[in-house]
Amino acid sequence: MASLGQQAPVAGNGAGATATIEVENPATGELITTVPVLGAAEVEAMAARARAAQPAWDVIGFEGRAQVLRRAQKWMLDNAERVIDVVVSESGKTVEDAQLADLGYTVSALGFWAKQARKYLADERVPSWNNPVVAGKKLIIRYAPAGVVGVIGPWNYPIANSFGDCVPALAAGNSVILKPSEVTPLSSLLMEEMMRECGLPEHVFQVATGDGSTGAALIGHVDCVMFTGSTETGKSVMKAAADALIPCYLELGGKDPMLVLADADLDRAANAASYYSMNNAGQVCISVERVYVEEPVYDEFVTKVSGNISRLRQGPPTGAGAVDVGAVTFPPQLDVVQEHVSDAVSKGAKVLVGGHSRTEAGRFYAPTVLVDVDHSMKIMREETFGPTIPIMKVSDCEEGIRLANDSSYGLQASVWTKDVERGEQLARRIEAGVVTVNDAQMNYSALNLPMGGWKASGLGSRHGAAGIRKYTKVQSLLVTRRAPKREPHMFPYRARRTMMLRRAFKLLYGRGSRD
Ligand code: NAD
């Protein structure tokens, strides 16, 4: 893998900013570069430029915008090594984790929204013939761009969960300002460079580097905000959006349960549990964070998972295939993981694999398997967001469902059984925005399938029609072509017409509701 060195993207909008952020490589502890923290005035100026640029981008139309997005798709593939390099350097994740999600998801999203925006945002005709009050009038639903969209992103997928959410907003004809995480801003700056090179008009996509204060400032200047991050910050974002009276969409934390039934394909379930709890070093909002296994297969499942996880290689991601599990990207996250493991152990949990941080120059936590866990422990109740897999024995699937739902979160969940009909029925009883049967995380690749959290995991969703319509203002049009000079409900009011209308209502609605 090439070293980032001179290729680190440069922040271009920092004129006037005084504070800076040091961006480090979590796998080596090395300083990569610094980027400016944009203040309120810079964000305001940026928003004014975005607002001025937006109408022309809207006028270009779906095909014009699709051409730019397709050029970006090609650019990403042509520059795959550089893209992966930047993501790996500032996140400490493996080349494979960066390739699958940050590169793979984003190139797929660029193509998907380039093609589907027109379909999802086409004018819709709604019938008027079935309502005598408006019969004959033309009724249309139109999706107009929101204007300037603010996207605020986390550090765990510096491209997929930041720029990835900008793509449908751009396809819908909006200008976008992206506030990336202060921990991983370089990937977003690279996306800004990419969009410039691909012919996106100036100021239609801008990156506002900075910390929480920059994100907070942004909310006051945009027409809607798409936030991905922790539940705690999500609440602050929603309060700020209420003050600004703009819509906000929140993709927040999770504590995804995996329910393994006695008739599951145990090898597949164990391999999936090992992978989907440890990919991206467990720093995935839809990571398998807790597992419930029916008693008859519990021991065998634990043996298989422990074997898999004890064989994982961890360390600095020096190239493709070098390691399986990368670094802990965000310094405080290491404390959270450590605290959850210690809390569990102090309450009786047993560590079968790992259970400690590592001492090399970078920031790592060993892949960890825990058993003898229960719901008095933080590791079963709070988002750990690290390479841990706590496994709990349940007497039957009813107990598993009850425990799966015993959570403030409701992002995703999975059910594992060879009886897929039963699996689907059980899935419908789990309180989560997405439930997979004999799978996990793969729904994220189905861009036509909505993905969003229930309970404390979020509001609204990405992907599918809802994933682009949220970046629009709905406008309803009613067009009257032929009509009398004066309609019966108009002035002047006359008792005879009033009674006539009352009889008409009785006739229309007296025998129950009409459409
Ligand atoms: P975070 O909430 O700490 O920060 C997210 C972003 O919000 C950052 O860019 C930060 O600078 C900004 N921010 C902080 N305070 C702000 C404020 N007051 N106003 C506006 N912006 C503010 O989250 P994080 O630690 O970067 O990310 C990890 C979290 O993200 C985890 O909880 C994870 O589950 C969640 N996540 C969710 C999804 C999903 O799709 N549901 C996807 C990825 C990550």
| Domains within the chain, CATH numbers bracketed | 27-252+463-473 (3.40.605.10), 256-446 (3.40.309.10), 484-514 (no CATH)
Contact 230 CB / ligand 1 (< 6 Å): yes
Predicted pLDDT at 12: 63
Contact 182 CB / ligand 1 (< 6 Å): yes
Contact 453 CB / ligand 1 (< 6 Å): yes
User: pLDDT-based confidence at 14, cuts 50/70/90?
Assistant: low
From 207, 213, 228, the mutation candidate for ligand 1 (largest count of ligand atoms within 8 A of CB) is 228
Predicted pLDDT at 5: 45
Q: How far apart are CA 3 and CA 24, in angstroms?
A: 14
Give the side-chain half-sphere CA count within 13 A for 356.
4
C-alpha dist (Å) from residue 476 to 120, 123, 137, 247, 331:
16, 10, 13, 18, 49
Q: How far apart are CA 234 and CA 285, in angstroms?
A: 14
Predicted pLDDT at 140: 98
From 37, 181, 463, the mutation candidate for ligand 1 (largest count of ligand atoms within 8 A of CB) is 181
- What average pLDDT does the segment 299-322 reach? 98
pLDDT at position 10 over 90? no
Q: How far is the CA of 151 from the centre of ligand 1 (A)?
A: 11
- In the predicted model, what is the mean pLDDT of the chain? 96
Least confident of 68-72, 222-226, 501-505: 501-505
- What average pLDDT does the segment 460-487 reach? 97
Q: Which residue is closest in CA terms to ligand 1's atom 14?
A: 212
Q: How far is the CA of 179 from the centre of ligand 1 (A)?
A: 11
User: For residue 234, which atom of ligand 1 is closest to its CA?
Assistant: 2
pLDDT digits (tens, 9 = 90+) for 366-422: 999 999 999 999 999 999 999 999 999 999 999 999 999 999 999 999 999 999 999
pLDDT at position 450 over 90? yes
In Å, the largest CA–CA distance within the chain is 90
Q: How far is the CA of 216 from the centre of ligand 1 (A)?
A: 12
Q: How far is the CA of 95 from the centre of ligand 1 (A)?
A: 23
User: pLDDT-based confidence at 16, cuts 50/70/90?
Assistant: low
Contact 271 CB / ligand 1 (< 6 Å): no
DSSP calls for 459-512: ES-BSHHHHHHTTEEEEEEEE--S--SS-TTSSSP-HHHHHHHHHHHHHHHTTS
- Tokens 């004959």 belong to which residue? 136
285 is catalytic: yes
pLDDT at position 512 over 90? no
Global pTM value = 0.96
Predicted pLDDT at 305: 99
User: pLDDT-based confidence at 6, cuts 50/70/90?
Assistant: very low
Contact 161 CB / ligand 1 (< 6 Å): yes
The structure tokens listed for 178 are 């992206």
Nearest to 191 by CA among 163, 210, 168: 163
Q: How far is the CA of 332 from the centre of ligand 1 (A)?
A: 13
Contact 236 CB / ligand 1 (< 6 Å): yes
Task: Report how far Cα 166 is from the mean position of its chain's Cα atoms.
Answer: 11
pLDDT digits (tens, 9 = 90+) for 151-164: 999 999 999 999 99
pLDDT at position 165 over 50? yes
22 SS3 class: strand
Contact 317 CB / ligand 1 (< 6 Å): no
Residue 280 CB contacts under 8 Å (≥ 6 apart), including other chains:
93, 97, 101, 156, 157, 287, 326
Q: How far apart are CA 91 and CA 77, in angstroms?
A: 20
Catalytic member of 166, 224, 248, 285: 285
pLDDT at position 4 over 70? no
Q: How far is the CA of 228 from the centre of ligand 1 (A)?
A: 5
Q: Percentage of residues in the chain with pLDDT exceeding 90?
A: 94
Among positive and negative, which fits the CA dihedral 426, 396, 353, 266? negative
Contact 152 CB / ligand 1 (< 6 Å): yes
- What average pLDDT does the segment 119-148 reach? 96
487 is catalytic: no
Q: How far is the CA of 462 from the centre of ligand 1 (A)?
A: 16
Pseudo-torsion of CA 87, 89, 95, 101, nearest 10°?
-20
Residue 60 CB contacts under 8 Å (≥ 6 apart), including other chains:
173
Contact 392 CB / ligand 1 (< 6 Å): no
Catalytic member of 24, 90, 96, 251: 251
Q: Which residue is closest in CA terms to ligand 1's atom 4?
A: 229
User: pLDDT-based confidence at 358, cuts 50/70/90?
Assistant: confident
Q: How far apart are CA 134 and CA 237, in angstroms?
A: 41
Give the side-chain half-sphere CA count within 13 A for 287.
27
User: pLDDT-based confidence at 17, cuts 50/70/90?
Assistant: low
- What average pLDDT does the segment 128-153 reach? 96
Predicted pLDDT at 2: 43
Contact 162 CB / ligand 1 (< 6 Å): no
Predicted pLDDT at 511: 83
User: For residue 180, which atom of ligand 1 is closest to its CA?
Assistant: 9
From 23, 156, 412, the mutation candidate for ligand 1 (largest count of ligand atoms within 8 A of CB) is 156
Contact 237 CB / ligand 1 (< 6 Å): yes
Look up residue 445 and give its DSSP letter: G
Q: How far is the CA of 153 from the centre of ligand 1 (A)?
A: 6
Predicted pLDDT at 360: 76
Predicted pLDDT at 433: 98
Contact 205 CB / ligand 1 (< 6 Å): no
User: pLDDT-based confidence at 514, cuts 50/70/90?
Assistant: low
Q: How far is the CA of 235 from the centre of ligand 1 (A)?
A: 11
Contact 229 CB / ligand 1 (< 6 Å): yes
Q: How far is the CA of 23 from the centre of ligand 1 (A)?
A: 17
Predicted pLDDT at 513: 63
- What average pLDDT does the segment 249-266 reach? 98
Contact 211 CB / ligand 1 (< 6 Å): yes
